[in-house]
Amino acid sequence: MAGHFETLPGGGAAVALDDVEISILRSLAVQLMELIGPGDEPAKDADPLAALFAEGPSKPPSDPALKRLFPDAYGDDSEELRAAASDFRRFTENDLRARKREDALVVVRALDALSADAAGEGGAVLKLTPDESRAWLGALNDLRLTIGTRLEVTDEEGEQLYRLPDSDPRKPMVMAYLWLGALQESLVETLMS
C-alpha cells in the first residue's frame, strides 16, 4: 500500500505514508491555503440572504498560480465575453475559494490526526471517508496545478521531467509534482473501483 491508495470497505480510501510524506503533504496544503487567502467570511450576525449574494472579485488574479486555480469562465476574445466572465467570477469565486480552502484544510486535519495517532512510529496508514477522499482529490489537483504553474510545466516537456539532472534547482519541486500526480491518479483509480 505504500504510496498507493486502496479501497476501504464501505467506501473511502487508505494509503500508507511515512513521516516525511506526511510533513511534505501538510506543508504543501498549508502553503496552498496561504496562497488562496483567508477569504471574506460573513459576520455571524450578517443577513444570510445578503451573504448569499455577496459579490467577489470581478478581475482575474495577477498571480499565475491563482489565475490557474481561478481561470476565466469564457476567455477574453470579445468585450461581451470579458463582461460575462467578470460577472461569473464576481458571483462564483468566493465560493470556489472557500471550497478549495476547505479541501486543503481537510488534508491538514487528516494529517494532523494521523501524526498524533502515530507519534514516533515513522508513519501510519491514512484512512479517508468518501467525503474526505473527494476533498483530498480536489486538494491534490490544486497542489499539482499550483506547482505545475510555478514550474511552468508544459505538456511537451512532461516526459523530460523524469530525466532532470540532480543539479537542476527545480528537481525537488518536480519530484513533488510527479509524486502528487501519482497519489492523485491512485486515489482516482481507488474511488472508481
Sorted by sequence, the CB contacts under 8 Å of residue 66 that are 6+ apart come out as: 35, 36
Separation of first and last alpha carbons in the chain? 16
Mean pLDDT for the chain overall: 86
Could you report the per-residue pLDDT of 137-193, keeping only the tens digit for each? Answer: 999 999 999 999 999 887 777 677 878 888 988 899 999 999 999 999 999 999 998
Q: How many helices (H) and strands (E) does the chain have?
A: 6, 3
Digit-coded pLDDT (tens) for 24-61: 999 999 999 999 987 655 555 666 666 656 677 778 88
Predicted pLDDT of residue 78: 82
Reported confidence tier of residue 1, pLDDT bands at 50, 70, 90: very low
For residues 153 and 173, is the Cβ–Cβ distance under 8 A?
no
The per-residue pLDDT for range 52-111, each reduced to its tens digit, is 566 777 788 889 999 999 998 886 678 888 888 888 888 888 899 999 999 999 999 999
Give SS3 for 115.
helix
By the 8 A CB rule, do 177 and 164 touch?
Answer: no
pTM of the model: 0.86
Whole-number percent of the chain with pLDDT over 90: 52
